[in-house]
Structure formats: C-alpha cells, structure tokens
Amino acid sequence: MSDPAALYESLRDEMATVLVGQEELIEGLTLATLTGGHVLLEGVPGIAKTTAANLFARATGLEYARVQMTPDLLPADITGTRVYREETGTFQLKEGPVFSNVVVADEINRATPKTQSALLESMQETQVTIDGETKQLPSPFLVIATQNPIEMEGVFALPEAQRDRFQQKLVVDIPARDDERQLLDRFDDEPDLDATAIRPVTTPSEIAACKETVAGVHVAPPIKEYVIDVIEETREHPAVKHGASPRASINFLDAAKAHAAIRSRGYVIPDDLKAIGGRVLTHRLVLETDAGLRGTDPAAVVDEAVEAAEPPTTGFLPEDPDAEPAEEGVAADGAPAERSVGHARTDDA
C-alpha cells in the first residue's frame, strides 16, 4: 500500500471500533506518522488520550511503549543505560522505552525539565547518545505526549524549545452528546471492549511507501509564499512576543502535504494550510505578558494570522501535463471554479 488516502481510511475505520468521534485526532496522528512529526495531546482526564495512542499503534502494527511521566523519573529511564552483568563481567546496554516506533509520554508536564529534555535529541535526530555511544531509533518513530491543562500543582510547563519540536498540538475535547451516547451503548453491549479489539491494518513497510508518496506531493511557489506570509503574521501580531519559528514553517508545509495526500490530491492548496494552521502553530506562540493577562487565546491569534495572509488563487497544480486532474471545485490551471478554494473554507478544512 502506497496510497496515503487508503491508509488513513483504514486506520480511521479500524480505530472507530473502539474510539468514537475523534476523527481530527486520528487524522493528526496520521499526518505526523507520514511526515516524521510528533504530537502533543492536551485534554482533561478521562477522554481517551492515552487509549487513542495505544489504538493507533495497534492499528498501524507498530511497536508501542508508554512512559508514565512523574517527578522522580530520570533521563536514563527514557533513553536507557548500561547495566553490569555479573555473569559476563561486562556492561550491557539496556534500551529504554524510546527505542519503540510509538512512544507515549503520558502527562509529560509532570516530569522535570531535565527528564523532558531527554526526549529532545530523539525527537529531532531520531537517535540517542548513551555513555558516548550513539544509537539510531527505529523507523517510523513517533512521540505522542499527553498533558492535562487543568492541574497546576506538581507540574512543569514545557519549555518553548520542547514545544517547538512537536509538529502538532491536538486538543481533545469532551465528546458531543450523541458521541457520548454512542460510547455508552457500545460499552454497555461490550463491557470488555478495549485496545485488544484492534487489528493491524498496515505494516511499517507500507507506511514507508506512503511517506514517499507524501514527500512527492507538489508544492507550488505561491503556496510556499503563503506559508511564509502566515508565519510572518504570527511574528508581527501585537499580542505575540515570539512568533512561529522556521522549524514551524517546515512542519506547516510537511503537514499540509500529508493533508493533501490523504485526500487523494497530489498538490497542496491553501485550504490544506487553513485546515491545519491551528494544530501546527498555536503551541509555538509566546504571548506578551499583558496579552496573556487579558485572556488572549493563541488559537485566536493563529486564526487572525491565517485571515490576514492573502492566499493565492491560481498556480496550485504541477506543470506536468500528465499530472492528475484537479479536484472538484478547482479549474485545470489551479484557479477556483464555482467555489473559492483560496478564500473560503471548504470540506477539506
């Protein structure tokens, strides 16, 4: 399987066996997996953040490890260490949980900054160094960190450098009433329903093939200019002390390519960027102190930045005459047809 759209559909349908009403979460995890990104999940306790990560790992057929982050956790508990084997008289490397395809750092803001930083090298370089020896991590490699936004005691806020290494921040909300009723019905009928009900629907090799497809998605020069325009709007916003970084620009574009690919499109349009702007940029902004005191929401700042940047209206398609036909609503030259792709949010958003 090298079709990202088919991969996403398979993952969504399989995870729906247990998970109810979390399509945006499943989509965000898929985008990160297909682009080598990492995800920060934020939400109150009891809304299946950790369960969703477990389900995703099982559905992808990837090796999964969960770390409960606590104040007494040490960096070596994440990366691993060397232990002495008396029977051989030698030190042997004992790999930590980071040597898995999907690593869930549960309640990451409960760990000390020193332990949080143990994830930095692995997230950025897909490698760790233990006693001077560098070890490569498996591929694909995805860190999913969860955090609880309502408890302030005994927690350590993620530093800006750590937040910036997460491609996306996904806010997991309380389910809608109909979704919660469906959840009650499902678990009333099957009280023992859990992650073991999920079967793998893909393999690491198929994921690698889909990643190659995503890497080949066309990004026209006007789209790249639009990315920079949105990023610059976050930096120039009066409520923002530090805007999005160049790493954010790269993550923004990568995620947009995956967003296009899972919709069976071989090129990026402005609506791909609009759909994921909040997920990719909100957690990277550092607001001015007075803006925070006034209750300014970083998500609202990102929305304003996206609105302020003028999206391109033509030139989305590759110049290759053998390229796939345009999707419904986009003319052959990349210009909007009956509906406006550049200025209005469409079904892709």
**What is the pLDDT averaged over residues 244-250?**
94
Torsion sign (Cα): 96, 97, 102, 108 = negative
pLDDT confidence bin for 154, thresholds 50/70/90: low
Residue 331 in this model has a pLDDT that exceeds 60? no
**What is the pLDDT averaged over residues 278-286?**
93
243 contacts 237 by C-beta, under 8 angstroms: yes
pLDDT confidence bin for 343, thresholds 50/70/90: very low
Q: What is the pLDDT of residues 106-127, one digit of tens each?
A: 999 888 888 888 887 788 888 8
For the chain, what is the mean pLDDT?
85
Residue 336 in this model has a pLDDT that exceeds 80? no
Domain spanning 217-349 has what CATH number? Answer: 1.10.8.80
Compare 262 and 90 and report the one with higher pLDDT.
262
Closest alpha carbon to 124 in 171, 75, 81, 161: 161
Residue 283 in this model has a pLDDT that exceeds 60? yes
Q: What is the pLDDT of residues 67-80, one digit of tens each?
A: 999 899 998 899 98
Q: What pLDDT does residue 137 have?
A: 92
Model confidence, pTM: 0.85
The segment(s) of the chain belonging to CATH 3.40.50.300 are 4-206
- For residue 272, give Cα distances in angstroms to 34, 79, 86, 204, 266: 15, 36, 57, 26, 12
Q: What pLDDT does residue 346 have?
A: 38
Q: What is the pLDDT of residues 25-62, one digit of tens each?
A: 999 999 999 999 999 999 888 888 888 888 999 999 99
254 contacts 37 by C-beta, under 8 angstroms: yes
Q: Helices 204-215 & 23-35, crossing angle to 10 degrees?
A: 80
**What is the pLDDT averaged over residues 210-217?**
95
Q: What is the pLDDT of residues 89-109, one digit of tens each?
A: 788 888 899 999 999 999 998
The segment(s) of the chain belonging to CATH 1.10.8.80 are 217-349
Compare 208 and 315 and report the one with higher pLDDT.
208
Q: Which CATH superfamily is domain 4-206 in?
A: P-loop containing nucleotide triphosphate hydrolases (3.40.50.300)
49 contacts 69 by C-beta, under 8 angstroms: no
**What is the pLDDT averaged over residues 278-296?**
87
Chain centre to alpha carbon of residue 111? 21
Q: Helices 246-261 & 221-236, crossing angle to 10 degrees?
A: 130
